[in-house]
Every structure is written in C-alpha cells, then in structure tokens.
Amino acid sequence: MSEAQYAAFLPEPRRAAAAIDPVHDWWSWTGHRVHVARARCDSPVRVVVVHGAGAHSAALWPTVAQLADHGLDVTAIDLPLYGRTESPTPQKVTYDLWLDLLQDLLDADDDERPVLLLGASIGGLIAYEVAHRSDRVVAVAATCLLDPADWRARARMTRFGPLAVLGPPFLRLLRGRVGDLMIPMRWVADLSKMSRNPDLSKLCALDPRGGGAKVPLRFFRSYMTHRHSAPEDFTKPLLLTHPAQDAWTPVELSTRFLRRLSGPTRVVMLRGCGHFPIEEPGLTDLVESVADLAAQVSPN
C-alpha cells in the first residue's frame, strides 16, 4: 500500500504536509536490501523512525512528514519482513536481527549529528533498546513501551489473552523447521484495534507490506522471549507519547516500564488518538512534543 492511501485518513489540514515526497534510499546489510525513506534538512538533530508490527515506512510516512514539515531531518526504516526491504531468507529473521540492523544503520548513516529515535507501537521498545546500545542516540520518543517480559503486555499485544502467560515456555519449542513456518502477522495480533477508524485498521491488516505480511514463528518466539536491557540503567531522556484512546494497549502497560527508568521522562497523552495516531488534536500533540524533545537535546 502507498503513502497516499494512508494519508487519506489524516485530518484535511494535515494532508498538505503528508504530500512531502520521501527520498528512497537502499542500504545493503548482511544480504538484506534495506529500504529507508528520508526527508533531509540541516536540523541539528536527526529523527529516525522505527515502525512496529503491522506497519512500515510508507504507512507511517504521512505522520512522519508532519515532523519534516516542522523542520526536522527525518528517516524512516523498513525493517526486514516489512515494507520494501528485501531479505535473502525471511524465515530466518528474528527480533535480535532487527536490533542489530538498526544499530548498524545508525553507525553507517552517521553524519555527526545526534539522533532521536522515535518508535511506534513495539518500535518503542526497539528504540529504547538500541538507545541503550548506541552512543549516537541522545533521546527516545515512543508511542508505547510494551515489554514482552510482562505477561500483561503479552496478553494485550496478542490474540491469546490470558493464555499469553504461557507463551514463552511454549514458544521456546518453536525451533528448527517449525520456526521457519511463515504466518500473517494479523493471525497473531488483533489488528482490528490498530485504529479508531475501522477502515484504517482494515487497510493495515490487509497491507501485504504491513499487517498482511508473513512473519516466521521464529521471529515471534525471539520477540516474546527477548529480555531487554534493564530500564534502571537507562539514563537518556525518554518521551512517552501515548494515544489517549488506545483500545489495544492501555497506557498503564507503558507507564509500568517507564517508572523503572533512571533518566528524565515525560508523558504526553495524544488527545483523541487511537493506537495508530492520526487524529487531532493528538497528532499536533505528537509533533510538538517530539519537536520540543529534539530542541532540548540539540547541541546548538
């Protein structure tokens, strides 16, 4: 699906900025042909956007373009299995591979400007984890902080409800050829809760580059059993921009994790927004709070 199909769901006043065309770049990484979309400018801080499950750079671009229109240098990546990125063996892609790829991309893409990572949905904890590892990242913004180690988060993220508490022991059995089995992400995640707009939720679920993409059971296992770096050791600024009307992942799941961080934190509730934040006034809340954070960590 294209940027224009997702932009059609934005409020009318926001559609002009959404029309900013990204520059499409490709990066070769261990056999993967990684797609990145960019809007370049000379802002003192770069924003790198990380999508979650069921999304990709084109899906997020109409929202990301609002940041570019606000004067920020923006890059949005397609992680393997999603978007336009091509992988030699998709059935071998894991969550750890995502983390390694993003860290290496920040190294390869370095132009000496500090980076603010913006993570959407499960991309929030990806951004947090890579910020833990990379000195190039000076701050993180996230719409969610969903820790798979928390059974409450697993229960809300997946279709399994309370049975998710049994997930990790069972998923460790999904190795070898069983782990290679590819299934649509929408079989695991209830993408009907992606947006307050059912048509947008449907678009996400059917998008062959997004929610309709097939994911190996190996990836699902690696994500649900991953143990992220201790939040008590995280000292960088983190902004939680949580949708105020998120029917999929309640804010309490994110604030449970947020309260454990040692660094400065701020919570901004995106007014009127569902899990996929496109509504006003919450979209303005998102753009302004991320721009404020970028100004705070700017070296100039």
pLDDT in tens, 108-155: 999 999 999 999 999 999 999 999 999 999 999 999 999 988 867 776
- Return the amino acid letter for 181: L
Q: pLDDT-based confidence at 197, cuts 50/70/90?
A: very high
Mean pLDDT of 49-57: 93
Per-residue exposure over 25-48, b if at least 16 CB sit within 10 Å of its own CB, e if not: eebebeebebbbbbbeeebebbbb
CA 276 to CA 97: how far, in whole Å? 25
Per-residue exposure over 208-218, b if at least 16 CB sit within 10 Å of its own CB, e if not: ebbbbbebbbb
Q: How far is CA 118 from CA 51, 90, 162, 291, in A?
A: 9, 25, 30, 11
Residue 194 is part of which domain span? 3-296
Neighbour tally for 147: CB within 10 Å: 23
| Strand 214-216 to 182-184 pairing | antiparallel
CATH number, position 279:
3.40.50.1820
| Residue whose C-alpha is closest to residue 51's, from 101, 8, 114 | 101
Q: How many domains does the chain have?
A: 1
Looking at the DSSP bridge assignments, the partners of residue 23 are 38
Q: Which are the contacts of 109, defined by CB distance < 8 A and separation ≥ 6?
A: 27, 48, 75
Please give the pLDDT value at position 221.
83
| Residue whose C-alpha is closest to residue 253's, from 122, 94, 131 | 122
145, HSE (Cβ side, Cα atoms, 13 Å): 26
Residue 160 has pLDDT above 60, yes or no: no
Q: Decide if 238 contacts 140 (C-beta within 8 A).
A: yes
Residue 166 has pLDDT above 80, yes or no: no
CA 158 to CA 148: how far, in whole Å? 10
CA 11 to CA 244: how far, in whole Å? 17
Q: What is the pTM of this model?
A: 0.92
Q: How far is CA 208 from CA 41, 55, 81, 136, 185, in A?
A: 31, 10, 10, 33, 10
Mean pLDDT of 272-285: 96
Find the range with the poorest average confidence among 31-40, 65-74, 109-118, 149-158: 149-158
Mean pLDDT of 80-88: 97
Q: pLDDT-based confidence at 67, cuts 50/70/90?
A: very high
Tokens encoding 201: 């939720």
Mean pLDDT of 35-41: 96
CA 155 to CA 136: how far, in whole Å? 34
Residue 64 has pLDDT above 70, yes or no: yes
